Amino acid sequence: MTLARILTIAGSDSGGGAGIEADLKTIERLGGYGMAAITAVTAQNTQGVFGIWPLPPEAVQRQIEVVVDDIGVDALKIGMLGSAAVVGCVATTLRRCGPIPLVLDPVMVAKGGHRLLEAEAKAVLRAELLPLAALVTPNLPETEALTGLPAGSRRECEEAARSLVAMGAGAALVKGGHGEGDIVEDLLFDGREFFVFQAERQQTSHTHGTGCTLSAAIATALGQGQPLPSAVALATRYVQAAIRLAPGLGKGHGPLSHAAGQAPWT
């Protein structure tokens, strides 16, 4: 397995469960080399987000440029961007960098309900960033916000996934974690056919950072040369293990175990 160079463009989570911190843990665990362009610093723990300090767009741009120019990037993921200015800046910068497989996690609202994407930024993300994505990975509320379509039943999720691809995304993974029932169903549409990934719903509050972790894992697998359906399958299996082995930290929505059972010092 090659050492894939994976860049994450996202916000920092001081609690370590999501954002840049979760991404870098995931990339390292799965055999990649992680790099970061930080979009914002947050004061955050398992109980919520208590402050956000965005970085200026030029700082985000420069972080991306120097990494691409020197080390190179085999795949990248995007998480929290925050503002329309940063969304537009990132899109412009990536267009200049040339084609790099991009996994877009359209982070809009934190687990505790705190808004992480300005309302006016949604249109910019849809118009400028979505067409650059090899894969977009919205949960059900994000799917509805991006498409304006319901995303409850399998048929509705299929139509929403088709809509996301029609907007320009290479593929869409509609995640079912916010749904109901004993089985979590994620639906992948690659522009030609659908793939369904199912897992038993784990009854736990320790799910902070699952979206960040999944998108970082998919980006790592893509950077290592895995085809898209295989990358999603591998990433889903990893996230399920990380939830199952969660360390039980914090008083709220706790983090995953990004080591996923790997013994220390081995």
Write the CATH number for 126: 3.40.1190.20
Q: Going along 14-159, which residue ranges are E strands? A: 33-45, 48-54, 75-78, 102-104, 135-136
| Given the residues 8, 46, 210, 213, the one annotated as active site | 210
251 is a domain residue: no
The pLDDT value given to residue 2: 63
The pLDDT value given to residue 112: 60
How many domains is the chain built from? 1
261 is a domain residue: no
256 is a domain residue: no
The pLDDT value given to residue 126: 93
Question: pLDDT band at residue 111, thresholds of 50, 70 and 90?
Answer: low
Q: What is the secondary structure of 193-221 as a DSSP string?
A: -EEEEEEEPP--S--BTHHHHHHHHHHHH
pLDDT score of 1 more than 60? no
264 is a domain residue: no
| Given the residues 16, 82, 209, 254, the one annotated as active site | 209
249 is a domain residue: no
266 is a domain residue: no
For residue 175, indicate whether it is catalytic: yes
Question: Which residues, 6 or more positions from 238, have their beta carbon under 8 angstroms from its beta carbon?
Answer: 26, 29, 30, 213, 217, 260
Q: Among 57, 154, 114, which Cα is nearest to 162's?
A: 154
39 is a domain residue: yes
For residue 97, indicate whether it is catalytic: no
Range(s) of the domain holding residue 126? 5-244
For residue 93, indicate whether it is catalytic: no
| Given the residues 26, 207, 220, 236, the one annotated as active site | 207
189 is a domain residue: yes
pLDDT tens track for 46-60: 999 999 999 999 999
